[in-house]
Amino acid sequence: MTLLDINKLTVEFPTRRKVFRAVDAASLTVEPGQIHGLVGESGAGKSTIGAAVLGLLERPGHITGGDIVFKGDTISGLNADAMRKLRGKKISMIFQDPLTSLNPLFTVKEQLVETIQAHHDVSDAEATQRARDLIDRVGIPDPDTRLDQYPHQFSGGMRQRVVIALALCSEPDVIIADEPTTALDVSVQAQILDLIKELARERQVGVILVTHDMGVIAETTDVVTVMYAGEVVESGPTEQVMGRPEHPYTKSLIAAVPRPTLKLHRFPQISYGGRETRFAIEDLARNWPKVENDPSKPLYEIKGITKRFLQKRGLLPWNREYFTAVDQVSFDIKPGEVFGVVGESGSGKSTVARMIAGLYQVDEGEVIFDGKTVSNLSDKATQEAYRQDIQMIFQDPFSSLNPRMRVDEIVAEPIRHHKLMEGNAIQKRVEDLLDQVGLGASAALKYPHEFSGGQRQRISIARALATQPRFLICDEPTSALDVSIQAQILNILKDLQEHLGLTMLFISHDLPVVRQMCDRVAVMKAGKIAEIQDTESLFANPQTEYTRELLDLMPKLDDLSTENLE
Amino acid sequence: MLAYIIRRVFQSVIVLLVVGLVAFSMFRFVGDPIDNMLGQERTQADIDRLRTELGLDQPFPVQYFKFLQGAVEGNFGVSYRQGRPVSTIIAERAPATLELALVSGFFAITLGIALGVFTAIRRNGIAANTIMTLSLIGVSLPTFLIGILLIYIFSVELDLLPSFGRGDTVQIGGWSTGFLTASGLKALILPSITLGLYQMTLIMRLVRSEMLEVLRADYVRFARARGLAERAINFRHALKNTLVPVITVTGLQLGSIIAFAIITETVFQWPGVGLLFINAIQFVDIPVMAAYLMLISVMFVGINLIVDLLYFAIDPRLRVDGRTA
């Protein structure tokens, strides 16, 4: 019997100007023990479907058409009280970010016991016993001590296990998992997905897995539904949809996924829906100072840099404890190359970037740029000159732009700071830059919140190019973006390297992206470099056990259609 | 934890010393106490003799040092005006102020939190909006005006409550309490409301805005998705998370309830330390002023220490940092 039948569901959000239709006549069904993938880009309405099933739509959103049938009973349109009884008991939810979905002020046990007692009439002792069993079941070692700990004492992956345990408290029939692994490292992601798969089989729970990650879909789901702008564009068994997509949107979406096994010159861009993809690299190159790259001499020599962070303060030096974030890291970066640094979170890759940028002091070792030492500079003039040569692009396009500054002020700031131009010339240059990154000069007078994530990242790029730097540090520049936007941004970065001769440090945890972008790659583990190799030989022939493990964890995308690829 | 408390106490001592120093450096601008103390027929010799007797001829750091010396032994000197030891005078007056502060603080916190939660949960309801509008009045009206209004309505027009004084008090040891007699309790009502109204509206508005923030948090959405009851979500999950910023502000406000009871005490002729201080200023009674200022700063510092310790009790994340920091 079908567990959940969503039939022509329409959800609308009335706004002052017009009614926004977030979900438009979407239908899908979930069987017991089945994992149903719901895939699409941000704004496609996939999370809204999940919220509608649980009756948790944010106001003023409401269901305007279709119905949701759970085990034969229509549950859409139930009143709040009846919906609450259903929520958690029959249908549970797992949220995206395990860091924020647990209440920080209560122990894991308190949260579990409270939820168990909300659904079952059991004594404290029995609820505690059940909580223990659940913690044990989701694979958290040492459940007895862990139960009495607070969420902040758990790592990201462990917290997501707690979240899953909470969702299982009431033995639900359907679990809606909204991007359950997006915030996690690849190795942890694989474990959590395995756990969800196992639970679905073992307890015959139907799972709706909402995600934008095609790799997760291909590895985990039985059936997949592809959404675009609130509509279902394609639906069917995962192998069929991924391997032989029929709808043009699905085709272009799959084509934009970076492949771990195949190096492409450029990313295929999603052509569906007519999006802005222009990047006027030729215009930009015309005014760019000619850089002579001497390939025999490295641009950067990183010599044994080490960074320690104080972990425990103490009045006496020997009472202090330090955490070594980066330990004796050395490498060279050749002019004109894209040098990749990969590793899991906490491996020290961002710290390395910050030391190179001069944002952190170096505790040991030296950073040499173009023959000159640039680490721990105390001389203001040299420091300023160095800063003009390097620029950074950050991960989060939402927090890396000052929301109170206009876009033209943001882009002009580095020019003004380094006194590169004056008066009207600055305005002209800013407009040119914005035009070249594909935003158009009219973007100058707007504020960052008026732009989407991809457009903001273009603003970041324009800002980084404003001083005409020789070196760019890109710290996970696309991990917050949709796959189609990611392809556009990566193509822009590739153009910068090819046409302007820019050297880049590219930091990422996403191996397929690294394979597409980088010439050479350093793999970092626990603050140390595990190995450095040319990208192609690293993927073909990893030298260390750790790299091999990382490569094994990459989602296998062999089943994905290769249509549209070059 | 112990090391933290010791460090905080050490810091507090420094704060107290600085407050005293500033106070003493300003006393010379308040006026000359000698003028008030001696009658019209004083001679220059009288003036000089009294000045030397009181130690007022010495530079203020020396005066301050002598004051500290005495304070350490529990001796705050003798009031110029009343001729009695300052510690005795303050001990007589303090219960009145502390009882008033206690009642109005209790009134401000309970009602402030309750109304704050209510207005946050029913954020578009008519009742909540009415409360929010009325609270603006509480914030914007000056304390003395509220006091006078209350006296006019409840004492003059309705004749329900006394307009001044503490009513009958009962002596328990050295403490005179108004809690045990009907007239004492009645006398507390109007001054407490006057003193606590501003704090209450402040706490209410703070709780409301924090609450609105927290209700949008993922863990509240997740609590809903798990099917927890609305009451458990609002009062357990959400309220506890709003408390840290609320405690910060409330702590400071409680300090000022005691410190700024002066105005309320003046309006209601409440025989507390605030009224004592006002009189002391008029008479340039330096020992009383000095002792009062020190007392107030001890209270502020103490309340702040309690507030910081409450953080640890509420937020487990700080406990870990506390050990490492």
CA angle B16, B20, B24 (to 5 degrees): 175
Identify the pLDDT of residue A277: 59
**Which pair of structure tokens corresponds to residue B158?**
């309705």
pLDDT exceeds cutoff 90 at A235: yes
* B122 near A CB under 8 A: no
Contact across the interface for B219 and A102, Cβ inside 8 Å: yes
pLDDT digits (tens, 9 = 90+) for A145-167: 889 998 888 888 888 889 999 98
Phi, psi of B138 (to 5 degrees): -60, -40
Identify the pLDDT of residue B321: 45
B230 contacts on A by Cβ (under 8 Å):
84
pLDDT digits (tens, 9 = 90+) for A321-348: 788 889 999 999 999 899 999 988 888 8
A133: in domain = no
Range of the domain at A480: 281-291+336-347+375-553
A520: in domain = yes
CA distance B286 to B58: 14
Identify the pLDDT of residue A462: 92
The closest CB to that of B222, out of A84, A95, A119, belongs to A95
pLDDT digits (tens, 9 = 90+) for B155-204: 888 878 887 887 777 777 777 777 777 788 888 888 888 888 888 888 89
For residues A284 and A465, the answer to whether their CB atoms sit within 8 Å is yes
Closest CA of chain A from B319, distance in Å: 11
B222 contacts on A by Cβ (under 8 Å):
93, 95, 101-102, 163, 166
pLDDT band at A270 (very low <50, low <70, confident <90, very high): low
Buried-exposed string B25-57: b where 16+ CB fall within 10 A, e elsewhere:
eebeeeeebbeebeeeeeeeeeeeebeeebebe
Contact across the interface for B225 and A311, Cβ inside 8 Å: no
A308: in domain = no
Mean pLDDT of the A94-107 span: 86
pLDDT digits (tens, 9 = 90+) for A17-61: 888 888 988 999 999 999 999 998 887 888 889 888 888 888 788
Q: What is the mean pLDDT of chain B?
A: 82
Identify the pLDDT of residue B323: 41
pLDDT exceeds cutoff 50 at B206: yes
Alpha-carbon torsion B42, B43, B44, B46, what sign? negative
Identify the pLDDT of residue A269: 67
What CATH number is attached to the domain comprising A434? Answer: 3.40.50.300
CA distance A202 to B76: 77
CA angle A66, A72, A74 (to 5 degrees): 40
pLDDT digits (tens, 9 = 90+) for A365-382: 999 998 888 888 888 888
The closest CB to that of B218, out of A89, A101, A153, belongs to A101
A20: in domain = no
A431: in domain = yes
pLDDT exceeds cutoff 80 at A258: yes
* B216 near A CB under 8 A: no
A393: in domain = yes
Which phi-psi region, left, alpha or beta, contains residue A307 (left: φ > 0; alpha: ψ -120 to 50)? beta
B223 contacts on A by Cβ (under 8 Å):
103
In 3D space, the residue among B117, B135, B129 whose CA is nearest the CA of residue B214 turns out to be: B117
Q: What is the mean pLDDT of chain A?
A: 86
* B221 near A CB under 8 A: yes
Q: Is the pTM here over 0.80, yes or no? A: no
pLDDT digits (tens, 9 = 90+) for B19-49: 888 887 777 777 777 776 777 777 788 788 8
Tell me the three-class secondary structure of A409-451, residue by residue: HHHHHHHHHCCCCCCHHHHHHHHHHHHHCCCCHHHHHCCHHHC
For residues B121 and B110, the answer to whether their CB atoms sit within 8 Å is no
Nearest residue in A to B312, CA atom:
A105
CA distance B260 to B267: 12
Closest CA of chain A from B316, distance in Å: 6
pLDDT digits (tens, 9 = 90+) for B123-161: 888 888 888 888 888 778 888 888 888 888 888 888 788
Residue located via tokens 């578009």: B124
A379: in domain = yes
% of chain B beyond a pLDDT of 90:
3
Amino acid at B204: M
In 3D space, the residue among A556, A553, A527, A532 whose CA is nearest the CA of residue A544 turns out to be: A532
Identify the pLDDT of residue A274: 54
Domains with residue ranges and CATH for chain B:
93-272 (1.10.3720.10)
Number of domains chain A contains: 1
A234 sits in which H/E element = strand A231-237
For residue A300, what are the CA distances in angstroms to A305, A330, A372, A519, B194? 13, 10, 9, 15, 69
Beta-bridge partner residues of B95: none
What lies within 8 Å, CB to CB, of B29 at 6+ separation is none
Q: Which of A102, A105, A106, A313 to mutate to test the interface with B (most CBs of B within 10 A)?
A: A105
Identify the pLDDT of residue B325: 32
pLDDT exceeds cutoff 60 at A566: no
A22: in domain = no
B229 contacts on A by Cβ (under 8 Å):
84, 118
Closest CA of chain B from A146, distance in Å: 15
Q: Which of B222, B224, B247 to mutate to test the interface with A (most CBs of A within 10 A)?
A: B222
Q: Is A94 helix (H, G, I), strand (E, B) or coil?
A: strand
Q: Which of A81, A101, A312 to mutate to test the interface with B (most CBs of B within 10 A)?
A: A101
